[in-house]
Amino acid sequence: MNFQQLRIVRETVRQNYNLTEVANALFTSQPGVSKHIKDLEDELGVELFVRRGKRLLGLTEPGKELVVIVERMLLDARNIKKLADQFTQRDQGQLTLVTTHTQARYALPRIVTAFKKEYSKVHLALHQGSPQELVQLLLSGDADIGIATESLSNEPELVTFPYYDWHHAVVVPVGHPLLDEPQLTLASLAEHSLITYHTGFTGRGKIDKAFAEANLVPDIVMTALDADVIKSYVELGLGVGIIAPGAFNPARDTDLRLIDASHLFARNTTLIAVRRGHYLRGYAFRFIELCSPELTEANVRAAVAPHRENGF
């Protein structure tokens, strides 16, 4: 048994059992991939994959259990290298952060600035994606820290920490009739065309739930991934926007006005997530602490430590 065989097993699952794609991903040949799988199965004495002729269709029961162990072994192998780097290059390396556009654009600039002042030699790789993409990058070990409102808390292999709470707000052009209402209501909102986030982004589910519970059907004429796009179309008069309030800047958004809607929509909590068992360098703990001072290295380290069975 060797690490290349383990990488091939993991990559085979990731590539939906397409061995040609596995070979491309690992820069090897398809016959070589097949041989590694066969050699490992012969060594273990069990079949790991369900087959139809030469095609792989899925995992056998032993294969399903093996993949869990393989993921842990490869994660630990990567952790060993990071452990060595922690003691030989304390203030150098790379921190990979995955987040959504809203967090990258509005919540994180202050944190990133403070972090770079302390760790000027650390390369900060900031990747934006959907919440589900964030989950996959964290689980694969390709990202150190994830920050988003959706999806992160649904994965048992991820440890999540609260970053900040927020409620949606409404944004309208200057002079809009909604500005004259003593207190905004869902019914008055439902009378206008609405522009807000795509389903699955930035608390959209809380918006849909609020209208559904009020037996109202909102006229959502446009959706977007980020608040900048939403605000642009609100400025053009195409509808009323529902956004995260942190995305509104009075100094820049001079043609728009923000209306409090915290009484209409349920609270959202943006989360910080790390994969359980993923080794974090000292500067990664510092980044988390800059986000929330309560999340000290000791607290995060204890939560992220992998579960051990039977005392091992």
Strand 268-275 relative to strand 158-166: parallel, antiparallel, unpaired?
antiparallel
- Give CA 218 to chain center in angstroms: 28
Q: How far apart are CA 312 and CA 309, in angstroms?
A: 6
How far apart, in Å, do the first and last CA atoms of the chain sit? 22
DSSP 3-state assignment of 11?
A: helix
Distance, in Å, from the CA atom of 301 to the CA atom of 304, rounded to the nearest integer, reads 5
Identical fold for domains 3-73 and 89-165+269-311, yes or no, is: no
The CATH superfamily assigned to 168-266 is Periplasmic binding protein-like II (3.40.190.10)
State the Cα–Cα distance between residues 104 and 14, nearest whole angstrom.
Answer: 27
Q: Which CATH class is domain 89-165+269-311?
A: alpha beta
Q: Rounded to an integer, what distance in angstroms lies between the CA atom of residue 86 and that of residue 237? A: 53
CA distance 25 to 11: 8
Q: Phi and psi for 306 in degrees, rounded to 5?
A: -65, 150
Label residue 87 exposed, middle or buried (CB < 10 Å: 0-12, 13-18, 19+).
exposed
Each domain of the chain, given as residue ranges in start order, spans 3-73, 89-165+269-311, 168-266
Task: Find the largest Cα–Cα distance for the chain.
Answer: 76
From first to last of the 312 residues of the chain, give the pLDDT tens digit.
888 888 888 889 888 899 899 888 888 898 888 888 888 888 888 888 898 888 888 899 888 888 888 887 877 777 676 666 655 566 778 999 999 998 999 999 999 999 999 999 999 999 999 999 999 999 888 899 999 999 899 899 899 999 999 999 999 999 999 999 999 999 999 999 999 999 989 999 999 999 999 999 999 999 998 899 999 999 999 999 999 999 999 999 999 999 999 999 999 999 999 998 888 888 999 999 999 999 999 999 888 876 555 444
Report strand pairing: 169-173 vs 145-148. Answer: unpaired
Query: CA distances (Å), 10 to each of 21, 71, 224, in order?
Result: 12, 7, 34
Coarse DSSP helix, strand, coil percentages of the chain, rounded to the nearest 5 percent: 45, 20, 30
Rounded distance between C-alpha atoms, residue 52 and residue 65, angstroms:
21
SS3 string of 118-176? Answer: HCCCEEEEEEECCHHHHHHHHHCCCCCEEEECCCHHHCCCEEEEEEEEECCEEEEECCC
Report how far apart, in Å, the C-alpha atoms of 281 and of each of 126, 134, 153, 157, 252 are.
Answer: 16, 20, 23, 19, 37
Q: What CATH class does 3-73 carry?
A: mainly alpha
Rounded (10°) angle between helices 3-14 and 61-88: 120
CB 162 within 8 A of CB 292: yes
Q: Which residue has the tokens 């630990």?
A: 76
